[in-house]
Structure 1
């Protein structure tokens, strides 16, 4: 059988790294992306993966990633993201330029990467896993900018699922996790579960090839 291939963005730490670790244990070929080259190279060496450091908001970097999986892609995980302005501001104080940058990373880059690797995904009837957040639908003070980017990603994911019925498209909320991003948001990350806890739940989507749609790690853990 052909070895399954996954491309994971933001894979040097947190949820991206946890997903890579789970897939590596299952024998997947991994192509990993992150902006920090040193941390990415360390992670890739431990997992026997290919590391391609760069910014997913860069068209040139996305072209490198697409070339690495041109032979066929079973799973694209759009995990790389940014909070935008920190400390998280009220919308009345939201710097619009910062919000534009957040949309570039959290919305436009995932869409552009999907476009770049669609031929490879179609070849394998592959899957797209877009990492979203409950902030996409809930009104949390300070989370308006970030939540708006995730709401946009949710909508793009839903339309992609309809337009590409041969693929699986999942947009999934991992819930709170003990990550640097949660700390940067000013939340108590130490009280949150590890990223590995969420990764194991989210990969039930892959293992069961569940229907396209929106999921949460909490709901996936509750499934029999």
Structure 2
């Protein structure tokens, strides 16, 4: 890696948006720490990006200890909390939502991202870095079936919002990428054709624009960010 290479931690990095961001940052010669549950696919991304790879679930405290060890004493220019759990598929109405599965969604989508930010804030401060929590329009819209996932993303938005207020020297963002052609989105619509959704790679320029321009902390929607061609 170049001597002055930037450094990022990306969760949910083996597929979808996390993978797309990892490949884009590797092209910029970033040093990467990648975390994902799918060990085989994570290894494919690791070999393409020369990253440090941690196979495991961010909801597992032991995995987060491995993340802390990988981050070490160095600075971090970016923490991308991208790993998410959809919950049951097909998506159930809230009156039938299994509460144990709702708790698991909140553990992955709310508790784990906050835990990761708690352990990486010193490294972010050391590098004047950026923290990004991947959100969803389900956090603010009342969509049938999306109550569990949407509520977890709304909670993550508010944690991110307050964390930004508590850390005014850092840039801390909620980033709504919009609908994408991902495995999670397909699981939300089993048996349906989602080929009309954009590929995750098409959303990466909006995130890179956010990182390059560093606007005030807040919630940003990919489609509303001005990205130069």
TM-score tier, shorter chain, comes to over 0.9
Query: Which of 90, 102, 126 is the equivalent residue of 1:99?
Result: 102
Give the counterpart of 1:217 among 207, 217, 222: 222
* Matched-pair contact (CA < 8 Å) for 1:19–1:200: no
Task: For 1:223 and 1:152, locate their aligned partners in 2 and report how far apart those are by CA, in whole Å.
Answer: 32
- 1:158 and 2:125 are equivalent in the alignment: no
Alignment of 1:27-106 (within 5 A): 27-70=29-72, 71-106=74-109
In the TM superposition, what is the alpha-carbon distance from 1:63 to its structure 2 partner?
1.4
- The residue correspondences of 1:118-129 to structure 2 (distance < 5 A) are 118-129=121-132
Partner of 1:110: 113
Task: Note the aligned Cα RMSD (angstroms).
Answer: 1.3
Q: Is the 8 A contact 1:31 1:49 kept in 2?
A: yes
Q: Give the C-alpha shift of residue 223 in structure 1.
A: 7.4
Q: How does 1:155-194 map to 2 (within 5 A)?
A: 155-186=158-189, 188-194=193-199
SS of equivalent to 2:53? strand
Matching residue of 2:140: 137
Q: Judge conservation of contact 1:182–1:188 (CA < 8 Å) in 2.
A: no
The reply to whether residue 201 of structure 1 matches residue 206 of structure 2 is yes
- Structure 1 gap segments, 5+ residues each: none
The answer to whether structure 1 residue 6 and structure 2 residue 8 are counterparts is yes
CA distance in 2: counterparts of 1:210 and 1:27, whole angstroms: 23
Q: Deviations over 1:38-65 (max 9, x none)?
A: 1101111011111111110111111111
Distance 1:209 1:93 in 2: 42
Classify the secondary structure of the residue corresponding to 2:117.
helix
TM-score (normalised: structure 1): 0.97
TM-score normalised per structure 2 = 0.95
What's the counterpart of residue 18 of structure 1?
A: 20
Tell me which moved more, 186-195 or 55-64.
Answer: 186-195
Contact 2:94 2:147 in 1 (8 A): yes
Question: How many corresponding residue pairs?
Answer: 224
How far apart in 2 are the matches of 1:170 and 1:35? 24
2:206–2:227 contact (8 Å) kept in structure 1: no
